[in-house]
Amino acid sequence: MTKMIPQIPVATMPHAVSRLRAERLARAVKPFRARGGPSERCPGCRVMHSHCLCALRPNLPTQAGMCLLMADIEPLKPSNTGWLIADVVADTFAYSWARTSVDPRLLTLLADPQWQPYVVFPGEFVTPDRVVTALLPAAVNAGHPAKRPLFVLLDATWAEAGKMFRKSPYLNHLPVLSLHPEQISTYRLRRSTHTNHFCTSEVGALCLALASEVRAAEVLATYLDVFTHHYLQAKNQQPVNWDDAPHQRLRGLCGQVLGGQPQVLNAQRHPSQP
Ligand SMILES: [Zn+2]
């Protein structure tokens, strides 16, 4: 008997962070409560159904990959922005971090010769010989393709990230990519942001820019703005403005790749919108 396998469009397949969220929920002893219960939130974007932004999810082929090492609770937070990286960057991997154990799949990934992993962390916390501020020259060796950059991001609060960095001996052999002040200030100026702490998807965007993936970096930064708008409007029970500057910018950047449908933004207007 032939078994029918349903065809799932790529954009609706669960990505690494949504799979990790499902694993984490399955392990939960008591139910995790985010405002607006699970039934009110879209499983694709974690925002209330009325403010769903799944139709805006860009998915770009990139040379770089992302590896999110997530603090225990992060995959459960509807505001976690590692999720946005997994939306945009096709080759995103996500693992739960624990002090006393390590996911063997993470070790396999870090040892995979197709990747050159970098731990993204401030350089002042390690010996200078480990610190890099730009990608290593692509090693061309005996007919093997150049290694692809893999950015290891610690997705956690700042205090947790410090602990994760110190207590993960399997990261000790990797170069530490330290984002330099010039790059950070350029980013702040362009986005008129003054915060001293970047969220995970902003760090991801800076890494993509360092890897010369300028368009993907722009898409990820703009997608964060769009997500933030949908998230806050839902929280404040206000309608989505589908034509504000970030939506227009995202449309301009990804007209051809948004969900594979150029006019998807207009097609997916919420019924309450004119
Ligand atoms: Zn959604």
Tens of pLDDT, residue by residue over 131-142, are 999 998 865 556
According to DSSP, the residues that pair with 68 across neighbouring strands are 94, 153
Q: Tell me if 68 sits within 8 A of 47, measured CB to CB.
A: no
Distance (angstroms) between ligand 1 centre and the Cα of 50 equals 9
Distance (angstroms) between ligand 1 centre and the Cα of 180 equals 35
CA 229 to chain centre: 17
Q: Tell me if 123 sits within 8 A of 178, measured CB to CB.
A: yes
Confidence (pLDDT) at 12: 59
Tens of pLDDT, residue by residue over 159-211, are 899 999 999 999 999 999 998 767 776 666 666 555 667 889 999 999 999 99
Tens of pLDDT, residue by residue over 235-274, are 999 999 999 999 999 999 987 555 443 333 333 333 333 3
Distance (angstroms) between ligand 1 centre and the Cα of 70 equals 22
User: Residue 14 to residues 18, 115, 185, 195, 205: CA-CA distances in angstroms?
Assistant: 6, 23, 35, 32, 21
Distance (angstroms) between ligand 1 centre and the Cα of 95 equals 23
CB within 5 A of ion ligand 1: which residues? 42, 44-45, 52, 54
Phi-psi region of 78 (alpha: psi -120 to 50; beta: other; left: phi over 0): alpha
Confidence (pLDDT) at 165: 96
Structure token digits, residue 76: 């459960």
According to DSSP, the residues that pair with 96 across neighbouring strands are 70
Q: Tell me if 30 sits within 8 A of 113, measured CB to CB.
A: no
Q: Is the pLDDT of residue 10 over 50?
A: no
- Per-chain mean pLDDT for the chain: 84
Tens of pLDDT, residue by residue over 73-111, are 999 999 999 999 999 999 999 999 999 999 999 999 999
Confidence (pLDDT) at 142: 61
Top-confidence residue, 158 or 169:
169
Give the C-alpha separation, 253 to 69, whole Å.
Answer: 29
Distance (angstroms) between ligand 1 centre and the Cα of 40 equals 11
Give this prediction's pTM: 0.84
For range 6-23, the mean pLDDT: 73
